Amino acid sequence: MENEKRKEKTNILTYKGAVYGAFAGFIATWSISTVIAASEVVLGLQISTFYSIMGISLGLNNVITAAYMGFGLHLLTGTIIGAVLGAIGIRWKKIRMLNPLENTLTGMGAGIVIWLVLFLPLTSLFIQPSIQRIVNLESELQYPLLSEDMNQLIQKIALGAIAFHLVWGAIFSYIMRSLVRIREFKMRGQQAGLGI
């Protein structure tokens, strides 16, 4: 009986971690999307170029639809990754108890792992083989591009994405830690109110 209660508490804790992580992942991804848009402006590209490249590489032929699809998939991916990291992190007491600096560094480490495990393989498997299609479709909306220029741009994006993933990890860990601290504060208040 006590084992079942412990398992139920663990499941609730895991669920809460997944919810907190999904929220933190969504906010971190949305924040990075803003930085991506600003980077596109600085580079002289049309806003949403990054997202349209994602959508085109997945087979869409309309640049605008591809941009919406890429943006949606980016948010969905960040949210799902956040949920997974949140479910794992909240159960791992060693991570929960870290001080803010260690927590941020752990989040940044997670960002690097995401870059290595997800971003680089997707870039290699989907975007690199689609360069000519991307060039043809993108050149309809902005200045003409050469496939060599696009290839160099994608390489720069892949390297620049390291910084974006580091920032994502820092934002994610900050939000996650804040949510966990709020939860612990509420639980202590409830326990104090019950005289436990």
pTM of the model: 0.83
Cβ atoms < 10 Å from Cβ of 116: 12
**Domain membership flag for residue 144:** yes
pLDDT given for residue 150 in this prediction:
66
pLDDT given for residue 76 in this prediction:
97
- Report H helices in 2-146: 2-42, 49-57, 63-91, 93-96, 100-114, 120-122, 131-138
Please give the tally of structural domains in the chain: 1
Segment-wise mean pLDDT, segments of 10 residues, the chain, 196 residues? 82 90 97 92 84 88 91 97 92 69 90 92 82 70 59 77 94 91 80 64
**Domain membership flag for residue 153:** yes
**Helix or strand or coil: residue 97?**
coil
Residue range 39-64, pLDDT digits in tens: 889 888 788 888 988 888 888 888 88
Residue range 15-32, pLDDT digits in tens: 999 999 999 999 999 999
**Domain membership flag for residue 2:** no
**Domain membership flag for residue 184:** no
**Domain membership flag for residue 116:** yes
**Domain membership flag for residue 1:** no
**Domain membership flag for residue 187:** no
**Domain membership flag for residue 190:** no
Q: Cα–Cα distance between 45 and 129 in angstroms, integer?
A: 21
Domain that holds residue 123: 13-179
- Residue where the block lists tokens 């398992």: 7
